[in-house]
Chains A and B, each alone.
Chain A
């Protein structure tokens, strides 16, 4: 059991290392000189340029920069921002670090039960108008882009009804619309999957036997059908989270939320390498971490996985 866990965790290391290498190389290849952006209107000044380059360590050979970068990461130092003169990246992303993952997880926490509920409802009442209705809503939910839904929501709830604030972050009310935009496509996705899995489970001999034996519908539903639906659903948590993380990019930009997503977009356009790299790595680590947790819990559930040494 322990070997299983250890093996899995160790498997993460090369992946993360390669992620670091790739992002580092990617940022070297980016067109656009960050020192130019920093100098802006003063870019004719060669002396100033040389000084800035030295301050940011950009005049050292590539390998040296890379090694010092790795060393820095391990101690939580992601270097200095290019956009905000010499401000440590860790300070910049510190606040976002609390916001974005929290939003993603909060959205997941609400979307998951909501999705399962809707999906189950549709499955039980398969082919009824309830089912069709729900399916239509679900398809729309995953097909309409969140940026299109956003302005509709803002228009109705912030401007017309004045129930919610337009933008910003810090109060519970300000979190409602952004969270809703993250929840809708996620819940829709989960609902579709749960509906499919539930339908399948309901057709199994196991359920038919239980019914024949006279087990009350509700009990059977909760105890057996639902549990068996959960297991395959869990394996999709990874994709869902990936979708949520990308969702935060758009949602944070629209609602002016100072999270990692909007910071990353700004950093890319401003050629702020260190910030972009740090955020990409953090997202990747977060994503990989959650996937690892899911993998481990799946391994806990299904002994075959553990023993068989590596799932499909």
Chain B
């Protein structure tokens, strides 16, 4: 027991943690992000009403004691829907992150390490996807597969993995020259081992920075797709969709659009600040794109 505490204490006081705590961006960002993640994971428990409970008698109720953030056009509790919306946004973000990183890092490492035709093939594919403006590609995918949460995840993953791949590749290329890699190669270590045990840990930090900055944009993109009607469908609540519903009623019942915009804004700001903070800490050089 005491051992765990002392270890935690050691981490808390470590140089990295110290710098983290001093970095305003990182601190505020991580507070906001933790809040959002907490809500995403446990929010459902605190939701006072089922998010799809329709009640015609209380439509467009203003925020008050009974309905913390008011109700929408069908009498559904906005607060409960925002809580569930957090779960959806984080689910999409986590899925997209997981998919793009697994695919992007793997392909990037292969391209950077082995070079040759694998490199050309992978980078050509990256170029082609980069030729499309992001949202257009996402919309095209949605137009083909149809709407829904799965579509959003697939579309956004398709759009994002090339960036990760390209970043990984350049990181690997610069590391490849390092001495200890040479040593490992000459001592006959299996390439997979080299990639996983030697290269990966050393390129982790810029990738982590990239991930935290990326989440903000993924959340924004999902909200935009839902706003345009191509993303997550009813009755599942999503912040982008709620803003769309609330937009027409902004003059008479602003609470729907207002609170969902707030939730969306706080989330994206939180992730962006965290990303900035992490970048200040880990990556003194700018590793953009």
Complex contact flag A–B (Cβ < 8 Å): yes
A residues bordering B, Cβ < 8 Å? Answer: 15-16, 18-19, 22-23, 26-27, 29-31, 139-140, 142-145, 147-148, 151, 155, 159, 193, 196-197, 200, 232, 235-236, 238-239, 241-243, 245-246, 249-250, 253, 264-265, 268-269, 276, 280, 283-284, 287-288, 291, 312
Contact A140 B131 (CB under 8 A): no
Instruction: Give the one of B227, B243, B273 with max A CB within 10 A.
Output: B227
- Cβ B257 vs Cβ A140 within 8 A: no
Which residues of B are in contact with A by a Cβ distance under 8 Å?
Answer: 127-128, 130-136, 139-141, 143-144, 146, 170, 173, 216, 220, 223-224, 227-230, 240, 243-244, 247, 250-251, 257, 261, 264-265, 268-269, 272-273, 286, 288-289
Alpha-carbon separation in the docked complex, A140 to B288 (Å): 20
30 A–B contact pairs at CB < 8 A? A16-B131, A23-B140, A26-B140, A27-B143, A30-B144, A31-B146, A139-B269, A139-B273, A143-B220, A143-B269, A144-B265, A145-B261, A145-B265, A147-B227, A147-B243, A147-B244, A148-B261, A151-B247, A155-B250, A193-B288, A232-B288, A242-B134, A243-B134, A245-B135, A245-B136, A264-B139, A276-B143, A283-B133, A283-B136, A287-B131
Tell me whether B136 and A284 are in contact (CB under 8 A).
yes
Q: Which 9 A-B pairs have the closest CB atoms?
A: A246-B135, A148-B261, A143-B268, A242-B133, A143-B269, A245-B133, A15-B131, A29-B144, A151-B250
Number of A-B contacts (CB under 8 A): 116
Distance from A186 Cβ to chain B, minimum over Cβ atoms (Å): 14
A236-B288, A280-B140 are known contacts; what are 20 more A-B pairs with Cβ within 8 Å? A15-B127, A19-B132, A23-B140, A26-B144, A30-B143, A140-B265, A143-B272, A145-B223, A145-B227, A147-B227, A148-B261, A196-B286, A232-B286, A232-B288, A243-B134, A265-B228, A268-B139, A269-B229, A284-B131, A288-B131
Q: Which residues of B contact A15 (CB under 8 A)?
A: 127-128, 131
- With contacts A148-B243, A312-B170 taken as known, whether A250 is within 8 angstroms of B224 at the C-beta atoms is yes
> How near does chain B come to A260, taking the closest CB pair, in angstroms?
10
* Majority-rule SS of A interface residues: helix
CB distance from A227 to the nearest CB of B (A): 17
Among B140, B173, B244, residue most surrounded by chain A Cβ atoms (within 10 Å):
B140
Q: How far is the CB of B64 from chain A (nearest CB, A)?
A: 23
Which residues of chain B are within 8 angstroms of A238 by Cβ–Cβ distance?
A: 130
